[in-house]
Amino acid sequence: MTSETFIHQTAFVEPGAQLGTGVHVGPFCHVGAEVVLGDNVHLAGHVSVTGATTVGAGTRAQAFAALGGPPQDSKHKGGRTTLTIGENCDIRESVTMNVGTDSGRGATTVGANGFFLAYSHVAHDCIVGDNVTLTHGATLGGHCEIGDYVIIGGLTAVHQFVRVGRRAFLGGCSAVVGDVIPYGMAVGNRAKLRGFNVVGLKRSGMARSDLANLRAAYRILFSPEKPLLESAEEVRVQFADSPAVIEIVDFITQRGKRHFAVPPLDGDDAADDDQG
């Protein structure tokens, strides 16, 4: 790594763009006038960074990534909106991320240390946390909120306005049309909740006792005998000493009436055991 900024002779950096130290702009790249590239950002060949886009230090974008393009929303009237990408993200080939809309948040926000595999897409007004992975072809609709450490499988589509809680896992080729609780695992078209992301939780160091609390709370939360919000308040009292359980309860209750991914009608919540 060099402290000198490099701009290939075939690249076009518009006047007004701000480039930090050690930035690499490869062949045939386009960097727009309102773009800010942090220190040591690396753009491989044919990368487009346009709009009011800020890219955090150490982020790397591979060939044909298109960052900061206009939102794909007919309600947008062309006002100035932004895209902010955090530090040390790995953005692979043909990834697309759009700025926000003037009828929405006005901003798309992507956290640090993300891994965005080829052809994945972050739409307008999304909020994406830190350490998130979008596998090949994973797609976020507008206004989605994705928590830290979420993994989204290949070719999975997340419907607009859907929330996905921290450390959840969405299986490949799924259509996710309802909110997915923190730590949850959802798979299918339309995606159903299949217990917890046990492998991810074990790798994160979660204690067996905490995982046992999650499983016990899950059975109460998604019992067909009571409405979800009523069960959530029961769980809040019963598991008041479990921060992980309370995180799920808060996620369910903090936004009023929402549509959630729930377990299959047969009530089989043992599917997470298949992960070991």
3-state helix, strand, coil in the chain (%, to 5): 15, 30, 55
Residue 196 pLDDT > 50, yes or no?
Answer: yes
Note whether 119 and 222 are same-domain residues: no
Cα distances (Å, whole numbers) of residue 38 to 15, 43, 87: 17, 12, 8
Identify whether 91 is part of a domain: yes
pLDDT digits (tens, 9 = 90+) for 146-179: 999 999 999 999 999 999 999 999 999 999 999 9
Q: Is 129 a catalytic site residue?
A: no
Of 125, 130, 269, 272, which residue is the catalytic one?
A: 125
Closest CA relative to residue 108, chosen from 174, 55, 152: 55
Identify whether 179 is part of a domain: no
Identify whether 170 is part of a domain: no
Task: Report the CATH number that the domain containing residue 138 is assigned in CATH.
Answer: 2.160.10.10
Q: Is 76 a catalytic site residue?
A: no
Q: Is 124 a catalytic site residue?
A: yes
Identify whether 119 is part of a domain: yes
**How many independent structural domains does the chain possess?**
2
Of 124, 141, 184, 269, which residue is the catalytic one?
A: 124
pLDDT digits (tens, 9 = 90+) for 86-109: 999 999 999 999 999 999 999 999
Last residue of a domain, one of 161, 183, 217: 161
> CA-CA distance, 229 to 203, in Å (whole number)?
30
* pTM, rounded to two decimals: 0.94
- Domain range for 268 is 202-275
pLDDT digits (tens, 9 = 90+) for 120-148: 999 999 999 999 999 999 999 999 999 99
